[in-house]
């Protein structure tokens, strides 16, 4: 069983990386970009039967810092 | 007086901090490897040094905060030991939950490495007792993730309770309210981005950092 964890900065938390990417896209002539936010994708290969609670605990205890980040879990068959 | 410095893979200010501890306490601190699960008994002072623990993987300080030794540090802090986290050590303390908030990438996107002017906001703490309230001092900073963040409610609480120990005299990295260093509720844990251990000898250009360590030792003597 696999799970993909998407970690993103909360709204209102400054994202200098996203800003730099935005700036670079502008430089390449892509003028229609309103905003860029960069995040992380973490792929977990899990033992079958790993509970949702355990995956959620992994996110809260380590993968995301919930002071500044949100996370979304996507289970892949 | 017993002190210790925690050493993670990627720490690079551990020896400087050990020199500062030894100069102030007169005894060599124990150097504690991150895999150790226990600290020496009755430590009075624990340093969490600067550097790039675990290569800053995942988030600065995130992996170090989950290492076995940090649980022992949290226990020692609970029983009242002084804990000083500098630079990466500050990041580790916020990730551990010993201090509120988080340290984000610098607002300008640049690594900042220079001397900065600081204002001592709270001169009553164990860490700042040898300074005057409102005094201007200069410490070096060297960090990429020093942009202090906390929600408005937390910031107001920190300010209201006198837990903002040090503030940048001008914006250095985008930190909320120019915060450079904060205390925990009990006042025995300080996290700060600037490096006091790099300014303790005349050859360093200034000795502004020395008083932080001397004040700590004085406080510990008074407590004993």
Q: How, if at all, do strands B3-7 and B30-33 pair?
A: parallel
Separation in Å, CA of B125 to nearest CA in chain A? 26
Range of the domain at A26: 2-76
Q: What is the set of domains in chain B, with CATH numbers?
A: 3-223 (3.40.50.880)
d(CA B224, CA B219): 9
The overall longest dimension of chain A from CA atoms, in Å, is 48
pLDDT (0 to 100) of residue B170: 96
- Nearest Cα to B174, choosing from B73, B82, B89, B102? B102
pLDDT (0 to 100) of residue B108: 87
**Numbered residues of chain B with Cβ closer than 8 Å to any chain A Cβ:** 58-59, 62, 66, 94-95, 100-102, 104-109, 147, 149-150, 174
Count of CB atoms within 10 A of residue A18's CB? 16
pLDDT (0 to 100) of residue B109: 87
For each successive 10 residues of chain B (224 residues), what is the average pLDDT? 96 97 96 92 96 96 95 96 98 98 94 98 96 97 97 97 98 97 98 98 94 94 81
Reply yes or no on whether B195 is catalytic.
Answer: yes
Q: What is the token pair recorded at B108?
A: 């300008």
Q: A14 and B102 in contact by Cβ < 8 A?
A: no
pLDDT (0 to 100) of residue B201: 95
Chain B residues with CB under 8 Å of A17 CB are 105, 109
Of the candidates B34, B87, B95, B121, the residue annotated as catalytic is B87
Task: List the single residue in B62, B106, B108 with the smallest CB-CB distance to A65.
Answer: B62
Chain A residues with CB under 8 Å of B95 CB are 65
Residue A21, phi then psi, degrees to nearest 5: -65, -45
- Residue B196 burial (CB < 10 Å; 0-12/13-18/19+)? buried
ipTM: 0.87
pLDDT (0 to 100) of residue A12: 87
Closest residue of chain B to A9, computed from CA coordinates: B104
**Numbered residues of chain A with Cβ closer than 8 Å to any chain B Cβ:** 13-17, 19-20, 61-63, 65, 67-68
3-state secondary structure of B104: strand
Reply yes or no on whether B204 is catalytic.
Answer: no
d(CA B61, CA B88): 6
pLDDT (0 to 100) of residue B75: 96
Cβ–Cβ under 8 Å, residues B166 and B194: yes
Reply yes or no on whether B22 is catalytic.
Answer: no
Q: What is the pLDDT of residues A9-42, one digit of tens each?
A: 999 898 999 999 999 999 999 999 999 999 999 9
pLDDT (0 to 100) of residue B17: 98
Domain count, chain A: 1
Q: Evaluate the CA torsion angle A39, A9, B58, A23 in order and state its sign.
A: positive
Residue B173, phi then psi, degrees to nearest 5: -145, 10
Count of CB atoms within 10 A of residue A72's CB? 12
Q: What is the token pair recorded at B35?
A: 């895999």
pLDDT (0 to 100) of residue B148: 98
pLDDT (0 to 100) of residue B222: 86
Please give the interface size between A and B, counted as residue pairs whose CB atoms are below 8 Å apart: 36
Task: List the single residue in A16, A61, A67 with the smallest CB-CB distance to B107.
Answer: A16
Q: Residue A30: give its domain's CATH number.
A: 3.30.1280.10
pLDDT (0 to 100) of residue B223: 80
- Residue B171 burial (CB < 10 Å; 0-12/13-18/19+)? exposed
Taking each helix axis from N to C end, the angle separating B68-78 and B88-96, rounded to the nearest 10 degrees, works out to 80
Of the candidates B34, B121, B143, B197, the residue annotated as catalytic is B197
Per DSSP, helices labelled H in B97-197 are: 152-160
Q: B149 and A13 in contact by Cβ < 8 A?
A: yes
């Amino acid at each position: 069983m696999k799970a993909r964890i998407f970690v993103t900065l909360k709204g209102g938390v400054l994202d200098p990386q996203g800003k730099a990417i935005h700036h670079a896209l502008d430089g390449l002539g892509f003028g229609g970009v309103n905003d860029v936010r960069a995040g992380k994708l973490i792929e977990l290969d899990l033992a079958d039967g790993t509970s949702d609670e355990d995956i959620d605990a992994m996110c809260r205890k380590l993968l995301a810092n919930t002071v500044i980040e949100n996370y979304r879990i996507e289970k892949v068959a | 007086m017993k002190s210790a410095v925690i050493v993670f893979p990627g720490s690079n200010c551990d020896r400087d901090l050990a020199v500062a501890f030894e100069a102030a306490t007169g005894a060599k601190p124990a150097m504690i490897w991150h895999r150790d699960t226990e600290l020496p008994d009755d430590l009075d002072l624990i340093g969490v040094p600067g550097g790039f623990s675990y290569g800053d993987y995942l988030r600065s300080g995130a992996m170090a905060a989950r290492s076995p030794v940090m649980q022992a540090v949290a226990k020692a802090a609970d029983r009242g030991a002084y804990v000083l986290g500098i630079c990466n050590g500050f990041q580790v303390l916020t990730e551990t939950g010993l201090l509120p908030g988080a340290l984000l990438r610098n607002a300008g996107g640049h690594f900042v490495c220079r001397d900065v002017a600081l204002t001592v906001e709270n001169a009553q703490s164990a860490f700042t007792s040898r300074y005057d309230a409102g005094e201007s001092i200069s410490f070096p900073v060297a960090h990429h993730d020093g942009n202090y963040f906390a929600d408005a409610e937390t910031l107001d609480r920190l300010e209201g309770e006198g837990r903002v120990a040090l503030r940048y005299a001008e914006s250095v990295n985008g930190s909320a309210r120019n915060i450079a260093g904060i205390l925990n509720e009990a006042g025995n844990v300080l996290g700060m981005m600037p490096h006091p251990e790099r300014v303790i000898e005349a050859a360093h250009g200034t000795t502004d950092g020395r008083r932080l360590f001397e004040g700590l030792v004085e406080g510990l003597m008074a407590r004993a």
